[in-house]
Structure 1
Amino acid sequence: MNTETFESFDGTKLALHRVGEGRPLVLLHGLFSSAEMNWVKWGHDQRIAEEGFEVLMLDFRVHGQSESPREPEAYPQNVLVRDVAALVEHLALDDYDLGGFSLGARTSLHAVAHGVLEPKNLVIGGMGTAGLGEWAKRSAYFKRVIDEFENIPRGDPAYFSMQFLKSQGVDRVAARLLLDTMPDLDLAMLSNITMPTLVVCGDEDRDNGSASELAALIANSDFVEVPGTHMGSVTKPDLGIAMAEWLAAHK
């Protein structure tokens, strides 16, 4: 794997991890995770690369090896969409695929539905309708995790999220600013997504609502269930296999 940095639209330095050779796939990780935690650690990147892809894994700002600016002006609305667009421009990508898990999936859907990006194929992992149209509820949950960080007791549903943030070394000041940049997506805008789309989700994953309902709202989509909860499905090979096989079939 090769890792490099590039400057996004506002000069923030973001990390890009590249694996494999072939058709470009821009792959986006989940909230407070990283390319390493979502894709590399469990071998999903290698499995996809084996199908003839160059897997281009971005670390979002405030995540992984990317910078975590603390200035409020570094967090305009939908800043992550702008970061992904900056990556596509930086690499001069024209014919490419786009995929993501959880926050990465949400960001991908916003980018395509708003016409910012036009990948040939789209992969949406760990996302349902509630994760798009009810973001305020999810954001409030994570703000509580940040604000009450060290005071969240064992047994509290937020305790695991707090431990995960701590393990990833997330800058909580920057993270809180980032949470306010993510608007809801009007589900009617999903009609703008016309390219082949894979919606893949854990069979026990209800964190972002119904993935099958999301798939039903995207005209040209396939829905696949893999084993696991929201966090657990990423750790199993089935997710990477499902993505790799679907992408290979839509080259």
Structure 2
Amino acid sequence: MPNFLSNGISIAYDIHGDGAPILLIHGFGSNGKVNWVDTGWVETLANAGYQAITIDNRGHGGSKKLYDARLYHAHDMAMDAKRLLEHLGIERAPILGYSMGARIAAFLALQHPERVKCLIWGGMGMNLVSGLADSEEIISALTAESLADVQGKTGRQFRIFAEHTGADKAALAACMVSSREPMSEMQVRDITVPVLVAVGADDEMAGSPAPLAALLPRGEAFTIERRDHMRATGDPQFKQATLEFLRRQA
């Protein structure tokens, strides 16, 4: 994978196909390949005429692993995404983010709206504002000596996923400390580009999409039926809703 330096931090990315560029930002513990290639997103977007650009967030995939929790705030990772667009000479593009990637995309739009045509937030509802209460469980699961030592359901899910993707668990634990940076309702209202908020009907982690979409000046809510947080990522309903949303913005 190619990489570039974002404020001295090596960030890996990949470019898939030709067409109008769209930046894809993955979720916590994942990477560009797992989140977007393996789930069929890259193929779907390429078939629709887009050039999918995947980024590995700091601490993930092929990017530099960091162990200082102060380096994982969502607004800092949003700057990595902005610098990637600059590095590639892309002035403005749609941004598709899932879970933590949606949070990063939100801060990118807040800090640099001139870079963002529109947003798709997958797996991120009202908890963008209200926050989540399971961070300590996830950190404990990632730092445990083995999976056998992890008891909580959510912690086990994240530990199993980290082991499946071969992730650096210590880097992920540091990331979990600060990456769930909340956004105030006032900040959400300041995001004026069109936003599609898509959340699984059985997603207990993201929060409801409708109240978050209602805060946004140009927000739309979409429910991914019969899906929870882990299984909504590559769902055909989500892909179809995203393509229709992108067509309306074009």
Asked whether the two chains share a fold, i.e. TM above 0.5, the reply is yes
Unaligned runs of 5+ in 1: none
Distance (whole Å) between structure 2 residues aligned to residue 15 and residue 240 of structure 1: 24
Distance (whole Å) between structure 1 residues aligned to residue 127 and residue 154 of structure 2: 19
Contact 1:43–1:240 (Cα < 8 Å) also in 2: no
Q: Which runs of 4+ in 1 moved over 6 A?
A: none
**Which residue of structure 1 lines up, in the alignment, with residue 193 of structure 2?**
195
Deviation of the 1:27 alpha carbon: 0.8
**Which residue of structure 2 lines up, in the alignment, with residue 169 of structure 1?**
166
Aligned CA distance change for structure 1 residues 76 and 29 (closer, same or farther; 3 Å): closer
1:179-221: per-residue Cα shift (whole Å, max 9, x none)?
2333221122111111111111112112121111111111112
Fraction of identical pairs, as percent: 25
Question: What amino acid is the match of 1:194?
Answer: T
Deviation of the 1:156 alpha carbon: 4.0
Distance (whole Å) between structure 2 residues aligned to residue 177 and residue 57 of structure 1: 22
Unaligned runs of 5+ in 2: none
SS in 2 for 1:175: helix
Distance (whole Å) between structure 2 residues aligned to residue 27 and residue 156 of structure 1: 28
Of 40, 45, 69, the residue aligned with 1:43 is 40
Distance (whole Å) between structure 1 residues aligned to residue 58 and residue 136 of structure 2: 20
**Which residue of structure 1 lines up, in the alignment, with residue 100 of structure 2?**
103
Distance (whole Å) between structure 2 residues aligned to residue 211 and residue 58 of structure 1: 25
**Which residue of structure 2 lines up, in the alignment, with residue 88 of structure 1?**
85
Distance (whole Å) between structure 2 residues aligned to residue 73 and residue 200 of structure 1: 29
Deviation of the 1:121 alpha carbon: 1.0
**Which residue of structure 1 lines up, in the alignment, with residue 13 of structure 2?**
16
Distance (whole Å) between structure 1 residues aligned to residue 71 and residue 163 of structure 2: 22
Deviation of the 1:74 alpha carbon: 7.6
Aligned CA distance change for structure 1 residues 138 and 114 (closer, same or farther; 3 Å): farther
Question: What amino acid is the match of 1:129?
Answer: M
The answer to which of 154-163 and 44-53 deviates more is 154-163
TM-score, normalized by length of structure 2? Answer: 0.89
Aligned CA distance change for structure 1 residues 29 and 145 (closer, same or farther; 3 Å): same
Aligned CA distance change for structure 1 residues 181 and 203 (closer, same or farther; 3 Å): same
Distance (whole Å) between structure 1 residues aligned to residue 157 and residue 175 of structure 2: 20
**Which residue of structure 2 lines up, in the alignment, with residue 208 of structure 1?**
206
Root-mean-square deviation (CA, aligned residues, Å) is 2.1
**Which residue of structure 1 lines up, in the alignment, with residue 245 of structure 2?**
246
Distance (whole Å) between structure 2 residues aligned to residue 6 and residue 74 of structure 1: 21
TM-score, normalized by length of structure 1? Answer: 0.89
1:42-83: per-residue Cα shift (whole Å, max 9, x none)?
21111122222111110111112222134x398164331121
